[in-house]
Amino acid sequence: MGKTTIPEEELMHPGHIACLGCGGGLAMRYMLKALGRRTIVSVPACCWAIMHGKHPSFALDVPLVNTAFEVTGASISGIRAALDAKGIKDVNVVGFAGDGGTVDIGIQALSGAVERNTDIFYVMYDNEAYMNTGIQRSGATPEGAWTTTTPVGTTGDWKKGPKKNMVEIMVAHDIPYTATVNVAFPEDFVKKIAKGKDIVGPKFYHAFAPCPTGWRHPPEHMVKIAKMAVDSNLFPLFEVEKGKYRITRKPKKKIPVKDYLRLQGRFRHLPEDVIEKIQRGADRNWELLLRKEEFTADF
């Protein structure tokens, strides 16, 4: 008799209108599995705002609030305040926003919410561009990527400069729990979210969610690419608990970032020297993370 490694209860209905092989859909599924039925989700304008389809249908078995782009942090603060006023303690309040709605547009509301030390979860599912509106560049787009607003063409006009480091921004707010999660590692994903249930105060999760449509790769490679992002150290899995770093997965066999980049059409144009630059950046960040873990070990 087989056993499953993550909770079996399904709170997301099939039939939502996400694209084939959507990482964001998987992220929502795992998050609800970890948190259970007593959850309220607030979703700003992002892919998840349209995945329920047209008006009278719902894709989740939990209450969901659709809010404006910039107010996810404010709306979850409000929901928590209302629950406190009614004396309800056992409900998890979650803000589930895309990367554009977090790192660019929603950052001030989120910053305010975590600064007030509201007891909330915030999950940012990172598909590295504004995918819902048609692949426009966001602050979370990695260096070298093609998007519709950084069309490579003949001039080499791809996204310049590195990706905004949202986890470090949240760590700088000195919040109780920050973690990176990845859809290719569901057990780790569910464990980290469930861990947040025992922590009072804001919890921030950076979830890596590949988007086959925007990243220009076949949908069946979705999980494979998410795994490669961790194994090439471009997206390390770690958690920061009250300033103490802990790396939750150290790749046994490191793969070069070139293997990860070559699977995706959005990096097809990159010349060798830019790939080397990305490799150096990844190595540097990994080294930095190892040092941070060592430095904060006895906090």
Partner 1 sequence: MKKRWDPKSYKDLPYTPIMDRPTTHNKTGVWRTFRPIIDYEKCTKCYICWKFCPDAAIIIVEEEDRKVEIDYDHCKGCAVCAEECPVKCIKMERER
Catalog residues that contact partner 1 under the rule CB under 8 A.
Answer: 1-6, 8, 10, 12-18, 20-23, 25-26, 29, 52-53, 55-59, 61, 186, 212, 218-224
Output the CA torsion sign for 61, 52, 97, 30: positive
* Whole-number Cα distances in Å, 248 to 112, 239, 290: 29, 7, 11
Q: In 10 A of CB 25, how many CB atoms?
A: 22
Nearer to partner 1, 6 or 199 (CB): 6
Q: CA 226 to CA 217: how far, in whole Å?
A: 12
| Distance in Å, CB of 224 to partner 1, minimum | 6
Output the CA torsion sign for 272, 134, 59, 102: positive
| Distance in Å, CB of 273 to partner 1, minimum | 32
Q: In 10 A of CB 280, how many CB atoms?
A: 11
Nearer to partner 1, 18 or 175 (CB): 18
| Distance in Å, CB of 248 to partner 1, minimum | 18
Q: CA 38 to CA 35: how far, in whole Å?
A: 7
Nearer to partner 1, 12 or 40 (CB): 12
| Distance in Å, CB of 194 to partner 1, minimum | 16
| Distance in Å, CB of 252 to partner 1, minimum | 18
| Distance in Å, CB of 123 to partner 1, minimum | 16
Nearer to partner 1, 5 or 155 (CB): 5
| Buried residues in 162-188 as b, exposed as e (16+ CB within 10 A) | ebbebbebbbeeebbbbbbbbbbbbeb
Contacts of 290 (CB under 8 A, 6+ apart): 247
Nearer to partner 1, 18 or 257 (CB): 18
Q: CA 293 to CA 238: how far, in whole Å?
A: 9
Nearer to partner 1, 23 or 106 (CB): 23
Q: CA 288 to CA 294: how far, in whole Å?
A: 10
